[in-house]
Structure formats: structure tokens, C-alpha cells
Amino acid sequence: MSEQNFGLYLREVHAVISVSEGDFALLKKHTDFFTSNLEGFVKHFYDTIYDNEGPREIFREGERPAVEDTLRKWVLSLVEGHDDDEFWKKQYLIGLAHIRREVPNRYMLTMASRSREFFLQAMVSELGADEGVRLFLAFQHVVDATVALTTTLVDEGRKKGLLQATGWTPPLMRNMLKTVYADIARKIEAA
């Protein structure tokens, strides 16, 4: 994805999700909440992955402590971040790490959902409904924007790779994919 496309996608994500510096300020205000819940979250996150064969296969034997540390650093980066290009470029690089591991979008989306679920319960329980929901919405904005950028990066990378490998033009690829998707839909409807 080019720098120009990155800027375009970031603007689109901001417009749709309404992520703002106010979200980051609220996350920062509740740094103690995140640090006190960090270990429980990391355990929940990786227990979910390691208890499921598909996601578990992404990781190498003995790698769990290292990836748990990476997740801790990521959560703290959300709390310490700002709504600026530097933060979003770091999130973009995290997205590249997911691509190198060939993490399917379905795993990123489902784990983002499990992450939001974990934190929503903890936020409402510890901070009360009003402040807990306010903090959750800020967290959700930042996480959803991050996941939107990452899954876009995955999609764009796959398209670029397909174009390079086949020599197709973008219109030809779009038409081929429409045909494939229509065929898949027909098979599902017939099943």
C-alpha cells in the first residue's frame, strides 16, 4: 500500500469510526485500569487462541511468552498513543507483522471482538456503567480503526501480489473475483 493510499484509508477510517484525540485522552486517563487488567487480558487472549486449533497453528512451539509480551506492549501503546501519523504508522507496521504470519482476517476480527468483550465487562464492572461505556467506546474506536487498517492492508497486499503473479490488470482481476464470488454464492445458496 502506498503512502498516498495509507493516508486515504486512514481518513476514511477516521470518518466512519469517528476516532479522535479525545478517545486517546480518555484511554490515557484510565492508564491504571489498563495496567491492572493487562495480565488478565493477555491470558484471556492467548488462552482463546491456543484453545483453538486454527489460530494456534499460526504460532511456533514455545513462542507464547514472546507474543504475550508483544500484546502487552500493544495495549500500552494504545494508552500512551495519540491520534497522529506516528501512532497509525506503528499500527500499520503491526498489520504487516500479521501479514507475514499469514493471519487470516477472520482471526483478527474475531480476536478484536473477544478483546472488546473482555474490556467491556471489566470496564463496566470496575468503573460503573456510565464511565465504563464511555471508556469502552474510546477503546472500541481505536481498536476498530486499527483492525480496519490492518485488514485493508491484508486485502491490498493480496491484490497486489495477485496482480504481480498473474500479470492481470486491475479491471480483469475485479471481474475474475466477481465471477468467483458469484460462484461461491450460488454454491452456498444451493447447499
In tens, the pLDDT along 173-182 reads 999 989 999 9
- Count CB atoms within 10 A of the CB of residue 190: 6
First to last CA, the chain: 37
pLDDT value of residue 105: 85
In tens, the pLDDT along 21-74 reads 999 999 999 999 999 999 999 999 999 999 998 888 888 899 999 999 999 999
pLDDT value of residue 30: 98
pLDDT value of residue 26: 97
Q: Classify domain 3-166 at the CATH topology level.
A: Globin-like (1.10.490)
Q: What is the dihedral of CA 40, 43, 46, 51, to 10 degrees?
A: -120
What HEC string does 128-143 produce?
A: CHHHHHHHHHHHHHHH
Domain ranges in the chain are 3-166
Has residue 1 got a pLDDT over 70?
no
User: Under 8 Å CB-to-CB from 46, ≥6 apart: which residues?
Assistant: 64, 67, 68, 71
- Count CB atoms within 10 A of the CB of residue 119: 22
In tens, the pLDDT along 104-156 reads 888 889 999 999 999 999 999 999 999 999 999 999 999 999 998 888 887 88
